[in-house]
Amino acid sequence: GHWHYPIASLGDEYADICITCTSPGKTFNLAALQIANIIIKNPDMRKKFKTFMESLALGEPSLMGNLACKTAYETGREWLDSLIVYLYENKEYVVSYIHQNIPNVRVINPEGTYLLWTDFRGTGLSDDEVYEILLKKAGVHVNKGSGFGAEGSGFIRMNIASPRKILEEALDRIEKVFR
């Protein structure tokens, strides 16, 4: 797999000028609790940041958010490891299915996300056209690549963090309208 290395982990000269922000929100589905971690090694930067946050009346997490964050980090490893395997298997399934069954479409192999970029440029259709076909004819909701900038035109972003049965059904529908 691919690993993420925070810039601050590359040495003190980097850590001293970095603010590292992390959150269990997406990984553990805790976004509604609005909990995050902000790591600032440099005491002067930390003081300025804290003053800024206090001026906005921000920076005080809720008791429930703190507890959820602590619990996720302390006891969620086994669940997270299982999730990573499950998402990897979903990714492999989707890539294989598209490669074998949906001509002129290819998948960009992700490096650390459950959102797949699928390249529909080989169909000769714009991402607007592909989006409309997927939504109206296949009943599959995706994100248009152009919504992420001009470079995304012709691409569709597909969420694979779903039960396999739902992915199978979505891919079958996509195949029917693009074969």
Percent of residues in the chain assigned helix, strand, coil, to nearest 5 = 55, 10, 35
Residue 64 confidence (pLDDT): 94
pLDDT single digits (tens) 26-77: 899 999 998 999 999 999 999 999 999 999 988 778 899 999 999 999 999 9
Please give the domain boundaries of the chain with CATH numbers for all domains. Answer: 7-75 (no CATH), 78-178 (3.90.1150.10)
pLDDT single digits (tens) 109-164: 888 889 999 999 999 998 899 999 999 999 999 999 999 999 999 999 999 999 99
Q: Record the pTM.
A: 0.84
For strand 106-108 and strand 143-144, is the pairing parallel, antiparallel, or unpaired?
unpaired
**CB-based contact 90:167 (threshold 8 Å):** yes
Cα–Cα distances in Å, from 106 out to 36, 113, 122, 126? 35, 17, 8, 15
